[in-house]
Structure 1
Amino acid sequence: MTPDDVYQLTLVAAAGVLAPIIVAGVRRFAIPSVVLEISFGIVLGPQVLDLVQPTGLVDGLSVLGLSMLMFLAGYELKLDTIRGRPLKLAGISWGLSVVLATMVGLGVHVSGGHSGEIVIPLALTTTALGTLLPVLRDAGVLGTPLGRYAMALGSVGEFGPIVLVGLLLAGTDPVQSILVLGAFALLIVGSALLANRPWGDRIVTFIAKSMWASSQLPIRLTLLFMLALAAVANTLGIDVLLGAFAAGAVVRIAAAKHDDEEDETDASSIFGFKLEGIGFGMLVPVFFVVSGTRIDLKALFSQPSSALVVPGFLLLMLVVRAIPTFLVYRTGLERRQRRALAVMSATGLPLIVVITTIATENGYLSSADAAAMVAAGMLSVVILPAVSIALLGRVREARPIEPGAGL
C-alpha cells in the first residue's frame, strides 16, 4: 500500500462517514445516503477535484464492495415472507416490465442515437429493494400485506435483472450462456438443499460459540463461500455478481433455518448485523464513492441530447415499472396503495450503477449515457419514495381482495 493509496482511501472513508451524518441532519428531505456517496465521489474524482482515482487499491476495494452489495441483496431474500401470491404477482409485473423494456430497446436500436440498446432496457427493469426497506419500515407498513407485496416486488426487481446481466452482458453466445447458467443454477440448488439439511448439534454449537470468539468463524465461512461462488461463476464465464448474489441467497437459507430455534435467535440476528456491518459499514460505501469518480460529467453536458437522457430515462423507469405494477395489483390492493406501490417499483439506483459500470467497462454503453442513467437513478431514489409515501397518506394497512379474485 503506497502513501497515495492511504491518502485516497482516507478521502473515500471520509465521504462514507459524512454521507449518513448529512442524511441524519436533513432528515426532512429524505435523501438516501447512496446519493450523497456518489455525489462525493463525483466531487473527489477526476471530473472536479481530481483527488481520488478509480485505480489500484481503491478500485480493488470497490470491486469487493460491489460483490458484497450483491451478496447482501441475495441475503435480503426472505422466501418465507414473500412466497405465494406476493411472489406470483411480482413475477407477472416484472415480466410485463421486461416486455415494455424490450420495446424500448428496439426503439433505441432503430433510432441508432444511443449506445445502450441492451443496457438501457436492462436497467429499466430494476427496483431498489435496499432503498425501499427503510421507507417501508418508517411508514409502518413493512409487516402488512402491502409491505409483503413491496418486498416481493423489490426482490424480483433485483434477482431478475442480475440474471439478465449474466446472460446479456457476459460477452458470450446466448445459447452457451443459458446452458452455463443452467449448470450454475444446479450448483446453487444443490448448495441450497445442503444448507437446508439438519446440522448436527456439535456443528451448530461450535459455530454458535465461535460467533462470539475472535475467530468469527461464521463470518469467515460466509466470505469464503461468497468468493468461492464468485470464482466458480467467473470460471464458467458468468458475471461474478451472480455468484455473489446466489451466495447471499444460500446463506440466508442456512441462517433462516435457525431463526425458529429460540436459543439461536439472538445469534442469528447478530450474524446478520455483522454481515451488514462489513458490507454497509465498510465495503459498499467504497463502491458507491468510487462509482461517483467514474461518472463523466463533461461527457454528460457536452451535448444537449445527452443531458436530455436524464429526464427521459426517469420517465421510462416510471412507464416500464410503474404501469405494469399498477395494473397487476388491481385485485390485491386499493387504488391509493396501488399508486404508492407502482411509484415505489420504479425506484432504482444501486443496480443501475452496477449495470452501467459493467456496461461501460465492456463497451456496451457510452460514458455520457452511463452518467445520465445514474443521474436519473439518483433522482428516482430522492423523489419517488417520498411521492409514494405522500400517495399512501394515512393508510398504513393493505386491504387485500378475496384470494380467489383476479390474478
Structure 2
Amino acid sequence: MGNGPLLSLFWLFLFIFAVQILLSKTKPFRIPSVLTYLILGMVISYFGKEMFRQEDIKWLDGLSEFGLYYLMFLSGMEVDLTCLRFQKRTKLRQNTLIIGLFVFMGSAILALLIGMRIHQIDPSTQSWMMMLILLTTSLGIVMPVLKETGIIHTQYGQLLLTSAILADLITMIVLSTIGGSYYTGLTWRQASVGLLLPLSVIFYQTILRLRESLFWKMEIRKNFTVQLQGLLAILGLYGIFTDLTGSEPILGSFLAGFLLSSLQLQDHHPFKEKLEGIGYGFIIPIFFVMVGFHFHIEDFVKSPVAISWVPLLLSTAYIVKVLPMMCLAPILNMRKALAGGFLLSSRMTLIVVATSIGLRLGVINRGIQDAAIVVAIITSVLSPMIFSISIKKQS
C-alpha cells in the first residue's frame, strides 16, 4: 500500500497528529511527547508496517537523521550562557557549570569502576568503552522534557541541561577521536576534533561584535530571511568542519546551536519560535517515531545473551547518574536530586552510536550492543515519566 514517500509521510503525520490530540487530553499527567513518539513508532512497526514500502522507510530514515541533527542544534540554542559562566562573586554551590562538572566527574568515576567490573565478567569487553557507554545521556530527551515542564531556564533546569551537555559533548569528542584512531593511531584528522571548541569561541566572539555593528542593526536584525540564510551558512560551515575532522555530525549541530544562543533570543522571539515550530512540529517527531519503528522486540527475545545483560546494564545506567545527583540533595532537596538523576539516565541516540563503534572496534560483544538498545528504550520511556511525575508533585 502506498504510492510514494509523500503518502508514507502523510500517514506518519496523521498518526503524530492523533498522538498530539491524546496528549492534549492527558495534559494534567504531563506525559512527555518523546515517550509517546517512541511508543507510536513501536506500534506502527508491529501493526502498520505494511503501510510503508522499503524505499519509503529509507526516505523517512533520512528525515529522521536530519531530525536528530536539528534537535541537537535546538539543544545547543537553549543553553543559557549566563548560567554557564563562572562568576567570581558567586558561591561554588550556586554555579551551574561547577556543579555540572562535579556531577559529570562523579558519573565518570562510577562508570569506570563499573566498567572494570564488567571487564572481569567478560574479558572481551574493555572497561574504558563501558565507561563511555554508561556516561552517555540523551540530550535529545532531556532538553524537550525540561522545555515541556517549563523549568529549562531555571537554575535547576540549567543544571540538568549543563550536566547533559557535558556528558554528551565530552563523550562525542572522545568517541569521534577513538573511533578513527584505535587501530591506525592518532592522526592529525582525528586530533583536529579538538579544534572545534576554540573555533566555536572565535565564532562566538565574532557574532557578539557583529551584533553591535551598524550593519547588523540596519540589515539583519529585522530581516528573518537574512537571519535564516546566515543560520544555514553556519550549519553548513560546521558540517564541513565535522566532516574534515571525522567527528560525529551531532557535535557540529550542537555547537552551531550553541553559537546561536549568543544572540540571547527570548522564548517568544519570532525567529526562535519559527525555528522551534519547524523542529518540534515537523522534523523532530519523525526522529523519535523512527527510533521506535526500528526496534524489533521479537529479535531481541531470541537472544538469551542480550537478555542476560539487560538487568546489569539497566541498573548501572541509573546508578552512575542518580548517585552523583543525590550528593546535591543539600542544595536542591532530595526529590529534585533524585528526579534529576533519573532524567539524566535517559539514553537514546549516543548510546547506540557508542555501542556501534565499540562493536566495530571489537571492544564489546554483540550481546551488550543489543542489550544497550533495550536499555536505551527502557530509560527513554521510564526516566522522563518519573521526572515529570516528581516535578508535578514538587510543584
Cα offset, 1:117, TM superposition: 6.5
Matching of residue 167 in structure 1 with residue 213 in structure 2: no
Structure 1 length as normaliser, TM-score? 0.78
CA, structure 1 residues 49+6, in 2 after alignment: closer, same or farther (shift >3 Å)? same
Matching of residue 232 in structure 1 with residue 241 in structure 2: yes
Matching of residue 150 in structure 1 with residue 160 in structure 2: yes
Which stretch has the larger CA shift, 365-374 or 102-111?
A: 365-374
CA, structure 1 residues 319+275, in 2 after alignment: closer, same or farther (shift >3 Å)? same
Cα offset, 1:248, TM superposition: 1.0
Q: Distance in 1 between matches of 2:294 and 2:306?
A: 16
Q: Tell me what 2:121 maps to.
A: 111
Q: Tell me what 2:231 maps to.
A: 222
Q: Distance in 2 between matches of 1:3 and 1:287?
A: 22
Q: Match of 1:347, SS?
A: coil
Which stretch has the larger CA shift, 166-175 or 238-247?
A: 166-175
Q: Tell me what 1:66 maps to.
A: 68
Q: Distance in 2 between matches of 1:47 and 1:121?
A: 37
Q: Tell me what 1:402 maps to.
A: none
Q: Tell me what 1:284 maps to.
A: 284
Contact 1:170 1:239 in 2 (8 A): no
Cα offset, 1:91, TM superposition: 0.8
Cα offset, 1:198, TM superposition: 3.9
- How many residues align? The count is 381
Aligned counterparts, 1:350-369, within 5 A: 350-352=349-351, 355=354, 369=368
- 1:90 aligned to which of 97, 100, 103: 100
User: Which string of whole-angstrom CA distances, capped at 9 and with x for unpartnered residues, describes residues 326-354 of structure 1?
Assistant: 12x25523344333333333233354456
Aligned identity (percent) is 23
CA, structure 1 residues 6+296, in 2 after alignment: closer, same or farther (shift >3 Å)? same
CA, structure 1 residues 194+344, in 2 after alignment: closer, same or farther (shift >3 Å)? same
What is the aligned-residue RMSD (CA, Å)? 3.6
Contact 2:72 2:140 in 1 (8 A): no
Contact 1:129 1:154 in 2 (8 A): yes
Contact 2:326 2:338 in 1 (8 A): yes
Contact 2:63 2:287 in 1 (8 A): yes
Q: Match of 2:4, SS?
A: helix
- 2:261 aligned to which of 244, 252, 267: 252
Q: Match of 2:40, SS?
A: helix
Q: Tell me what 2:33 maps to.
A: 33
Q: Tell me what 1:399 maps to.
A: none
Contact 2:79 2:158 in 1 (8 A): no
CA, structure 1 residues 204+353, in 2 after alignment: closer, same or farther (shift >3 Å)? farther
Structure 2 length as normaliser, TM-score? 0.80
Matching of residue 197 in structure 1 with residue 199 in structure 2: no
Structure 1 unaligned runs (5+)? 260-264, 397-407
Cα offset, 1:379, TM superposition: 3.0
Q: Distance in 1 between matches of 2:48 and 2:192?
A: 43
Q: Distance in 2 between matches of 1:17 and 1:171?
A: 45
Q: Distance in 2 between matches of 1:21 and 1:125?
A: 35
Contact 2:77 2:257 in 1 (8 A): yes
Contact 1:349 1:381 in 2 (8 A): yes
Contact 2:176 2:248 in 1 (8 A): yes
Cα offset, 1:294, TM superposition: 2.8
Q: Tell me what 2:14 maps to.
A: 14
Matching of residue 297 in structure 1 with residue 297 in structure 2: yes
Q: Match of 2:137, SS?
A: coil
